[in-house]
Structure 1
Amino acid sequence: MSEGGEPRLKRWFGGKREPLRLTAIPRDHVVGDMLVGERLLGGRFLHGARQVALNQVDFNAAPGGDPLLERLHSFAWLRDLAAVAGREQAAPLGEAITGHWLAGDERRGQDVWNPVGWGERILYWTAYAPFILSSSDAAYRARLVNRLAAAARFLDKQADKAKPGLDRITAWAGLTVASLTLSGGVARVARAESGLLRALAQGQHEDGGLKSRAPYEQVELVDRLGLVRAAYFAARQSLPDPLEDGATSALSALHGVLMPDGGLASWQGGNPGNPARIAAIIEGCGMRARPLREARGWGYQRLSALGTIAQVDAARPPANPFSDTSFASTLAFELADGAQRLVMSCGGGAGSAGELDPGLANALRASAAHSTLILDNMNSTAMLDDGQPGKGVETVEFERGEDDGATRLTAGHDGYHRRAGLGHERRIALGNDGKEIRGEDRLVPVGRRLKRKTLPFDIRFHLAPDIEVTQTADGLGALLRSSAAPPWQFRTRGARLRVEPSLVVDAHGAPRETQQLVISDECGKEGAAVTWHFRRSS
Structure 2
Amino acid sequence: MAVKRPANGLKFPAPFLASRRRGGVLWKAVGAEVASHVEREWFGSGPHRLILAFPRPEGLAARPHDPRPNDPARGLKILSGTLALDGGTVRIGADGDPFDTASPSRRFAVALHRFDWLPDLIAAGPDGARRALRLIDDWRRVFGKWNAFSWSAECLERRVFHLACAAKALAQEGSDAEIADLLMDLARQGRHLIEIAKFPERVLERAVVAALAGCVLAGKPGERLIDKGLKVVARHIDLMVLPDGGHATRSPEAGVELLFDLLTLDDALGQRGRPSPEALSRAIDRLSTAARFFTLGDGHLAAFHGGEAIEQRRIAAALAHDDAGPRPLNVAPHSGYHKMIGGSLEVIADAGRPPLGPLSVAACAQPAAVEIVCAKDRLITSCGWSPEAAGAHAFRLSDAASTVSVGDGSAGRPLSGFRARTLGPWLVDGATKVEVKRHDDVGGVWLDIVHDGWRHVGLTHARRLFLDAVNDELRGEDSLVPLAADPGAAQGPRRYLPFAVRFHLHPEARASIARDGRSVLIRGPNNIGWWLRNDAVDVEIAPSAHFDHGLARKAGQIVLKSQARPEVGAKIRWKLTRAEG
- The structure 1 residue matched to 2:481, chosen from 444, 450, 460, is 444
Q: How many Å apart are 1:269 and its aligned residue?
A: 4.6
Q: How many Å apart are 1:12 and its aligned residue?
A: 4.4
- The structure 2 residue matched to 1:155, chosen from 193, 209, 219, is 193
CA distance in 2: counterparts of 1:526 and 1:112, whole angstroms: 55
Task: Give CA deviations for 1:209-239 in whole Å, capped at 9, x if unaligned.
Answer: 3333333433322222222122122222211
Of residues 441-450 and 176-185 in structure 1, the stretch that sits farther from structure 2 once superposed is 441-450
What SS does the aligned partner of 1:321 have? helix
Task: Check whether the contact 2:365–2:430 (CA below 8 A) recurs between aligned residues.
Answer: no
- The structure 2 residue matched to 1:496, chosen from 525, 537, 543, is 537
Task: Give CA deviations for 1:381-414 in whole Å, capped at 9, x if unaligned.
Answer: 3555444444341111112231142122111101
Task: Check whether the contact 2:508–2:524 (CA below 8 A) recurs between aligned residues.
Answer: yes
Q: Within the alignment, does 1:242 sit opposite 2:279 as a pair?
A: yes
What SS does the aligned partner of 1:146 have? helix
Structure 1's 279 and 50: CA in aligned 2 closer, same or farther, altered over 3 A? farther
CA distance in 1: counterparts of 2:149 and 2:521, whole angstroms: 59
Aligned equivalent of 2:204: 169
Task: Check whether the contact 2:52–2:191 (CA below 8 A) recurs between aligned residues.
Answer: yes
In structure 2, what residue type is equivalent to 1:406? Answer: G
CA distance in 2: counterparts of 1:64 and 1:192, whole angstroms: 35
Task: Give CA deviations for 1:141-179 in whole Å, capped at 9, x if unaligned.
Answer: 1111122122233234x14x14122x3222211221122
Equivalences, count: 520
Aligned equivalent of 2:353: 316
Q: Within the alignment, does 1:518 sit opposite 2:553 as a pair?
A: no
Aligned equivalent of 1:505: 546
Q: How many Å apart are 1:108 and its aligned residue?
A: 4.8
Structure 1's 58 and 283: CA in aligned 2 closer, same or farther, altered over 3 A? same
Q: Within the alignment, does 1:27 sit opposite 2:62 as a pair?
A: no
Q: How many Å apart are 1:348 and its aligned residue?
A: 2.6
- The structure 2 residue matched to 1:45, chosen from 83, 91, 110, is 83
In structure 2, what residue type is equivalent to 1:92? Answer: R
What SS does the aligned partner of 1:371 have? coil
Aligned equivalent of 2:13: none
Q: How many Å apart are 1:39 and its aligned residue?
A: 1.1
Q: Within the alignment, does 1:59 sit opposite 2:99 as a pair?
A: yes
Structure 1's 4 and 144: CA in aligned 2 closer, same or farther, altered over 3 A? farther
- The structure 2 residue matched to 1:411, chosen from 434, 446, 449, is 449
Aligned equivalent of 1:366: 397
In structure 1, what residue type is equivalent to 2:432? Answer: E
What are the ranges of 5 or more consecutive residues in structure 2 without an aligned counterpart?
A: 1-43
In structure 1, what residue type is equivalent to 2:346? Answer: I
Q: Within the alignment, does 1:77 sit opposite 2:117 as a pair?
A: yes
Structure 1's 389 and 350: CA in aligned 2 closer, same or farther, altered over 3 A? closer
Task: Check whether the contact 2:298–2:376 (CA below 8 A) recurs between aligned residues.
Answer: yes
TM-score (norm 2): 0.79
TM-score (norm 1): 0.85
Task: Give CA deviations for 1:482-518 in whole Å, capped at 9, x if unaligned.
Answer: 332411111124x334123121224242241424141
What SS does the aligned partner of 1:469 have? strand
Structure 1's 50 and 228: CA in aligned 2 closer, same or farther, altered over 3 A? same
Q: How many Å apart are 1:419 and its aligned residue?
A: 3.0
Structure 1's 121 and 489: CA in aligned 2 closer, same or farther, altered over 3 A? same
What SS does the aligned partner of 2:173 have? coil
- After superposition, the CA RMSD in angstroms is 3.4
In structure 2, what residue type is equivalent to 1:182? Answer: L
Structure 1's 81 and 281: CA in aligned 2 closer, same or farther, altered over 3 A? farther
Q: How many Å apart are 1:116 and its aligned residue?
A: 5.2
Task: Give CA deviations for 1:54-73 in whole Å, capped at 9, x if unaligned.
Answer: 44444368999822232232
Task: Check whether the contact 2:505–2:555 (CA below 8 A) recurs between aligned residues.
Answer: no
Q: How many Å apart are 1:433 and its aligned residue?
A: 6.1
Aligned equivalent of 1:328: 365
Q: How many Å apart are 1:418 and its aligned residue?
A: 5.2
